[in-house]
Amino acid sequence: MTSDITTLTASLSCPALTSEAEIAPYLTDASQAAAGRPLAVFLPRTTADVSTILRFASTHQLPVSVRGAGTGLAGGAAAYEGGLVISTEAMTELSIDADARLADVQPGVLTATLDAAAQAQGLFFAPDPASAATSTVGGNIATNAGGLRCLAHGVTADSVAALEVVLASGEVIQTGARTIKNVAGLNLTPLFVGSEGTLGVITRATVRLKPLPEGAPYTFAAYYNSLEEAGGAVLALTSSGLNLESLELIDRTIVQLINKHHGAGLTEPGAGLLIGLCTSAQADAARAATICAEHGASSTETAEGLALMEARRLVFSSIYPEGFTVLGDAGVPVPQLPHFIRRIQEISEATGRAVLITAHAGDGNLHPSVYAGAHGEETEAAEEVLALISAAALELGGTITGEHGIGSAKLHALEEQLTPATLAAGRVIKAALDPAGILTPGRGL
Ligand SMILES: Cc1cc2nc3c(=O)[nH]c(=O)nc-3n(C[C@H](O)[C@H](O)[C@H](O)COP(=O)(O)OP(=O)(O)OC[C@H]3O[C@@H](n4cnc5c(N)ncnc54)[C@H](O)[C@@H]3O)c2cc1C
């Protein structure tokens, strides 16, 4: 196989990384999922190279993992033993069509880079995962990433107009269109959005941009002595008619840990802190703070600027060093949020295991972090607690994953949410597009 890889590499315009030192950064993702030792890691710059690599992998029946920046939290990008890795990090072409409010990108463009380029032309890219500075647009599309601005702008799928995808056979297809309206043929774009590297490699995307709002953003903060009560205020806020861009919940311990690890100087709440962003509308922020005060907040404040929202991005880097490494991603319908918070607290008490809560509260998407021991030695017990939490989300009409995806980490739980017939339908599509089963096998669906 080594000589075949050498022949393959000779036909590409990109090198193959094969030494231990070279491939080490490409083995796993932010979930630290187990990975195998791949034969080679490729950093293609062109669609043609991706196509050649996939044709080779199909011919030789080699498993392929696809990798953006590796910030994924489900193990989807982890390398396979004896497989190939396609990293998109060198695919960074980007152009903005300001008149059409579209951007054309290769998949390795960082989310924040795209947003900054759009902002330079008075536009912005709405998808805004907390990892925006380090994750790729291709990874966001492949995971249908959510994030902080979904309340106003939806998830990544809502910003994708068209895709170029290389199928497992090496064949290149185009989905969608650059128009606002398009109903030609089956709508294949959403099939690839959120497909986690299992159906094809996204090699180009046309994404929608929005006009930058005028004026300064305003944030509000509401301090609660009960997390459940904070959850109740979320419904009052989301049904108030206010134009909220983000609405996030952070529990007291996480606020303390953000202060400890990042010196953020946040005011500590009795139980939890609800923070929201109103785009350029001081009056909206004040009205939101009033609604929170009417719904149990012990105190509230408003501020110009994004400092509070930036603090929200520090959650994971503040809790992981403390051993809270088993991370959930469940979602529930917003009216169920207070019940879900109560259920998580009951599960924590019944199992005697600490669970921290942060949430994209306006979307009903919670990230419970379960204590897994100072060095992760209690991971199995923590996983059991997370399974109880996921089950509670399903009982409340929710989902086991709102935005991080299934990957390898949550594959075992997928059958708890989807019926056998639904699972089978997904696998029929997978088999049709990747008959040799080489693309991200055994993960995602
Ligand atoms: C600190 C931190 C905060 C985060 N916050 C959020 C958040 O707020 N919201 C959220 O949704 N997620 C969040 N995440 C998770 C993660 O950043 C997202 O899932 C992101 O979309 C992954 O992008 P990536 O480029 O790192 O992809 P990777 O991790 O490299 O890959 C993720 C998946 O996409 C597939 N993939 C990547 N590129 C392609 C491609 N071009 N074609 C086909 N498949 C591809 C991979 O095979 C894999 O299955 C966070 C992660 C961290 C570490």
Answer whether 440 contacts ligand 1 (Cβ < 6 A): yes
* Domain stops at, among 255, 289, 314: 314
Query: Residue with the nearest Cα to atom 16 of ligand 1?
Result: 72
Higher pLDDT: 4 or 343? It is 343
> End of a domain among 314, 335, 364?
314
Residue 392 alpha carbon to ligand 1 centre in Å: 25
Q: Is the pLDDT of residue 3 over 90?
A: no
Question: What does the pLDDT look like over 232-248, one tens digit per residue?
Answer: 999 999 999 898 999 99
Structural domain includes residue 14: yes
DSSP-derived 3-state class of residue 106: coil
Do residues 234 and 247 lie in contact, with contact meaning Cβ atoms separated by under 8 Å? yes
Note whether 348 and 241 are same-domain residues: no
On whether residue 197 sits in a domain, the answer given is: yes
Q: Which of 68, 76, 79, 96 is nearest to 40 (CA)?
A: 79
Q: Which residue is closest in CA terms to ligand 1's atom 15? A: 72
DSSP 271: S
Query: Does a structural domain hold residue 57?
Result: yes
Does residue 2 carry a pLDDT above 80?
no
- Domain end (from 36, 66, 87): 87
Nearest to 150 by CA among 248, 76, 70, 230: 248
Ligand 1 atom with the shortest distance to the CA of 156: 11
Q: Are residues 207 and 283 in the same domain?
A: no
Q: In the predicted model, what is the mean pLDDT of residues 102-106?
A: 98
147 CB under 6 A from ligand 1?
yes
CATH number at residue 78: 3.30.43.10
In short, whether 142's Cβ falls inside 6 Å of ligand 1 is yes
- Residues 30, 106, single domain; the answer is no
pTM: 0.95
Task: Looking at the structure, tell me whether residues 224 and 202 fall in a common domain.
Answer: no
List the domain range (segments joined by +) for residue 228. Answer: 214-314
Residue-wise pLDDT for 366-423, tens only, equals 999 999 999 999 999 999 999 999 999 999 999 999 999 999 999 999 999 999 999 9
Based on the fold, state whether residues 269 and 356 are members of the same structural domain: no
CATH number at residue 370: 3.30.70.2740
Q: Assess if residue 428 is contained within a domain.
A: no
Query: From ligand 1's centre to the CA of 140, what distance in Å?
Result: 5
189 in the same domain as 99:
yes
CATH of the domain at 226: 3.30.70.2190
pLDDT at position 56: 97
CA angle 359–360–366, rounded 5-degree value: 40
The two three-digit tokens of residue 382, written as one number? 């923590």
For the chain, how many structural domains are there in total? Answer: 4
